[in-house]
A and B are shown apart, each in its own frame.
Chain A
Amino acid sequence: MTDMPDTTTTSDPSYHVPAEGESDDAAGYYVPGEPIVDTKAPGGPIDERWSTRKFEARLVNPANRRKLSIIIVGTGLAGASAAATLGEAGYVVKSFCYQDSPRRAHSIAAQGGINAAKNYKEDGDSVHRLFYDTVKGGDYRSRESNVYRLAEVSTNIIDQCVAQGVPFAREYGGLLDNRSFGGVQVSRTFYARGQTGQQLLIGAYQALERQVQAGTVTTYTRHEMLELIVVDDGEGKKRARGIIARDMVTGAIETHLADVVVLASGGYGNVFYLSTNAMGSNVTASWRAHRKGAYMANPCYTQIHPTCIPVTGSHQSKLTLMSESLRNDGRIWVPKKKEDCDKDPRSIPEEDRDYYLERIYPSFGNLVPRDIASRAAKYQCDDGRGVGPEVDGVRRGVYLDFADAIARLGRDAIEEKYGNLFDMYARITGENPYEVPMRIYPAVHYVMGGLWVDYDLQSTIPGLFVTGEANFSDHGANRLGASALMQGLADGYFVLPHTIRDYLADGPFEKVAEDHPAVVEARESVQRRIEHYLTVNGTRSVDSYHRELGNIMWEYCGMERTEDGLKKAIDLIRTLRDDFHRNVKVLGSADSLNQSLEKAGRVADFLELGELMCIDALNRRESCGGHFRAESQTEDGEALRHDDLYAYVAAWEFTPEDAGESWATPMGTPVLHKEDLTYTAIEMKQRSYK
């Protein structure tokens, strides 16, 4: 059923060389590498692959599990659920988080809901339809086997969470309620008011703490992973065998060794400085693994959410998302005339308002997908018709107006539906959204890219597994609403515990000594880095670098990307990175809580990741999902995919630069490995929302 052209067969050695007439924008910025394939997904009918894999994955005898240790970095939905489940199974689990409690991981901030193909509404939903919607929503850039499995286990998640006591919304009859979410036509989203992420995370957190009491899991809070330990197993195979972590309270550099390492460390949206991520969300765990050999896949795929509260000034530290359900009743507009932009919006007559989404997309109107709505808002503001305060000379905001909805349904009905969101908006902006239209602007929200994993969620480093937002696997180029929670819990509760046993069946692996050269090297590299940040003694704060990096990324690698812009961004990032290492100012010491020092390490890694994101975006001269290349659009400005050229996962391998005379290994030219995406159960189509 595939309409894939056969020019993209992996066996063709000339695969990396662009064919005649194709462009290779990133030429010179990368080195073509061997194709990469996922060898773990079984063949056969798509609906049997997961059962086949579960059956074929080898078992570990319960008595042996006590001898096998697992390190899990991160305690969000993916990490906490995995730690709890593996603890229940009897493995020895060490769970790490940088926050003061596992319960604070940023999964907690998810508002909308969690999808599951329960078909409780009998409205035609099924595993296959959830699979179909997710692949289509991801703009045909995800791996179909993984997505099918995700849809398949989605139903188990709801059962598990309900049994744990997650207080999902219910109907009067006592059964679970569902709503339709994110533009899909079936009601498959389970929710707990606007705090679904919180409730699911607390459920996983409680399961995790239960295992702490049972003695199977040990938690290390206020600990940050700063290096991955990769050890040669004597048979020429390099395996992930532990991490170097810093106790953020005492500053102690600790070595933790285990049979397998799981990264569930979340996404890297904070590379943009301003995002809806938590202040501490960072890429360090993933980036350190990447530097040690784990490939980074599709790093440029970023989701920009259209309904966030706009920036008010240069002091802004983070952006706040408001549920996109607001677009169900609110109408989005900007003034038609530039001179109206600083007027009271209520004084602007109807004929002087441009309801641009309703105008351009008459059939979907204000409900177009996230990426389209975001880009459209950017265009209006770039055109000088944005509203709200001027920041750096531009008004970045559009109106989301509820006046019509209030007139139609009454204020009480609106309050009932959106009261908590309106309150939040009023608290942050000091404006009353019942009286004055809300102002919204897009913000970075989620990254679909992440470490490359196979069907078993194992990275290119044996023994290093990656789950949740930290991996790349399930969302393609765009994530649908209510799918992130689903993926995090699917990975942690139901996928990883099955796939990891196949790897652990070879264990316990030979014990690694603390003075093993690989361990010593890892520890020393951490100590070197820390010492470096504390001794540069320059003039600029870490935050100022982070903010500048964010501006570069937002400007050139944000909602719309161009060849020239990306090349410029790469230059700017390289200059900034160089300056950072010469001129950053980090005060205090290494042996106590030092938040500047923590941030310095994270920003240093963002400064490297940012470059790779730009290179990835430069290479992908097509528009798909959250990635929009200005060079690849239809005549009327819509995203244009090139399935003939880019139906692949771009998996990047890190190479250290040869002439590494400075304190740390600088970045070399990355190597691009392509994994072909073939679809057997679904046909590739161009999206249209007109």
Chain B
Amino acid sequence: MASVATQTSRQGSGPASGQAAAATLVQTPRATRTTIYLKMLMAGSGLIFIGFVLLHMYGNLKAFAGHDAFDEYAHHLRTMGTPILPESGALWIIRTVLVLSLVVHVYAAVTLWRRARRARTVRYQVKKHTGAIFASRLMRWGGVTLLLFIIWHLLNFTIGKVNVQGGATNDPYNLLVDTFDTWWLTLIYLLAMTMLGAHLHHGTWSAMQTLGLTGTERARVRSKRLAFAVAVVVTGGFSLVPIFVLAGVITK
């Protein structure tokens, strides 16, 4: 058992002796080296994503306004901020922020995940999870799933613009309709959105808790409700377009 060795070394250093204890006190504590700081980075980057998905979802709903409106909106994303910024300037700023946030978010997640694994190297034979909502237990593997989805999603809609029904296209609206007309693509997408909802359900609350905004019972209850609302709105909002495409309401 891997744990036994580490336990021995702790034991050997004299667990009950105050002298040994004093020797292991942290000498120069720094707030920026704590797990809570990591969590704050995670919360901050997470909030950026929450803002992003809300806007993204809003944009997607333009599909209901028809081909021209949607494409005009897509085009506007490239021209916003001009002429102060060059063409696509604002978009690249947003992309940079998102990529940085992703790096920070994933780095913090991986670090904390590894810490958690090291904190309990001998597992329980039986363990119940009283008090935890299911979503909270999906955060890590759910996060990995979302990461894979984002890669595929970027390949599909941003980088590759792969249209399963007809190769690359420069028409976002047609790409969207062609994609979600394919039942299994819609299915993958809806599953990913459910996972996103779960991630946001716990993540939104967790971010507020980590930032210390839920210090009273009322604030805690309120932020849990808000987190649920964000999850429902984002998942629901993103799911409308593919469902309506598949149902034949939104067509080319």
Contacts and interface: CB of A to CB of B under 8 A. Distances in A.
Interface of A: 95, 212-213, 215, 217-223, 247, 249
21 contacts: A95-B18, A212-B18, A212-B21, A212-B22, A213-B25, A215-B22, A217-B18, A218-B17, A218-B18, A218-B19, A218-B22, A219-B18, A219-B21, A220-B16, A220-B17, A220-B18, A222-B16, A223-B16, A247-B16, A249-B15, A249-B16
A93 to B, nearest CB: 10
Interface in B3-37: 15-19, 21-22, 25
Contacts of A217: 18
Interface string B137-174: 00000000000000000000000000000000000000
A213 B29 CA distance: 14
A665 to B, nearest CB: 30
Contacts of B25: 213
Contacts of B19: 218
Nearest to A222: B16
Contacts of A95: 18
Nearest to B20: A218
Contacts of B18: 95, 212, 217-220
A673 B15 CA distance: 44
A213 B16 CA distance: 15
A173 B18 CA distance: 42
B108 to A, nearest CB: 30
A215 B27 CA distance: 13
A221 B16 contact: yes
B149 to A, nearest CB: 48
What are the 10 tightest A-B residue pairs by CB atom distance, in nearest-first order? A218-B18, A219-B18, A221-B16, A222-B16, A212-B18, A218-B19, A249-B16, A220-B16, A213-B25, A212-B22
A215 B25 CA distance: 11
Interface residues of B, number: 8
B102 to A, nearest CB: 41
A86 to B, nearest CB: 15
Interface of B: 15-19, 21-22, 25
A418 to B, nearest CB: 24
Nearest to A249: B16
B7 to A, nearest CB: 12
Contacts of A212: 18, 21-22
Contacts of B22: 212-213, 215, 218
Contacts of B17: 218, 220
A326 to B, nearest CB: 30
Nearest to A93: B18
B155 to A, nearest CB: 55
A95 B22 CA distance: 14
A218 B14 CA distance: 13
Contacts of B16: 220-223, 247, 249
Nearest to A221: B16
B13 to A, nearest CB: 12
A217 B17 CA distance: 11
A392 B15 CA distance: 45
A594 to B, nearest CB: 15
Q: For B15, B17, B18, B25, which residue has the most chain A Cβ atoms within 10 angstroms?
A: B18
A222 B19 CA distance: 15
A625 B55 CA distance: 78
Nearest to A223: B16
B170 to A, nearest CB: 67
Nearest to A214: B22
Contacts of A221: 16
A141 to B, nearest CB: 39
Given A212-B18, A213-B22, 20 more contacts: A95-B18, A212-B21, A212-B22, A213-B25, A215-B22, A218-B17, A218-B18, A218-B19, A218-B22, A219-B18, A219-B21, A220-B16, A220-B17, A220-B18, A221-B16, A222-B16, A223-B16, A247-B16, A249-B15, A249-B16
Nearest to A100: B16
A220 B20 CA distance: 10
Nearest to B19: A218
A219 B18 CA distance: 5
A462 B150 CA distance: 78
B62 to A, nearest CB: 57
Nearest to B11: A249
Contacts of B21: 212, 219
Nearest to B15: A249
Contacts of B15: 249
A220 B14 CA distance: 10
Contacts of A213: 22, 25
A195 B208 CA distance: 33
A217 B22 CA distance: 10
Contacts of A249: 15-16
A222 B17 CA distance: 9
Nearest to A248: B16
B203 to A, nearest CB: 34
Contacts of A220: 16-18
B157 to A, nearest CB: 57
A363 to B, nearest CB: 47
A212 B16 CA distance: 13
A213 B18 CA distance: 9
Contacts of A218: 17-19, 22
Contacts of A223: 16
A219 B20 CA distance: 10
B14 to A, nearest CB: 9
Contacts of A219: 18, 21
A221 B17 CA distance: 7
A222 B14 CA distance: 12
B36 to A, nearest CB: 21
A104 to B, nearest CB: 14
A99 to B, nearest CB: 11
Nearest to A97: B16
Contacts of A215: 22
A215 B21 CA distance: 11
A220 B17 CA distance: 5
A80 to B, nearest CB: 13
A212 B23 CA distance: 11
B219 to A, nearest CB: 22
A215 B19 CA distance: 9
B101 to A, nearest CB: 39
Contacts of A222: 16
A55 B67 CA distance: 96
A249 B15 CA distance: 9
Nearest to A247: B16
A97 to B, nearest CB: 10
A95 B25 CA distance: 19
B88 to A, nearest CB: 57
A212 B19 CA distance: 9
A108 to B, nearest CB: 20
A62 to B, nearest CB: 22
Nearest to B17: A220
A76 to B, nearest CB: 18
A217 B18 CA distance: 8
A399 B100 CA distance: 70
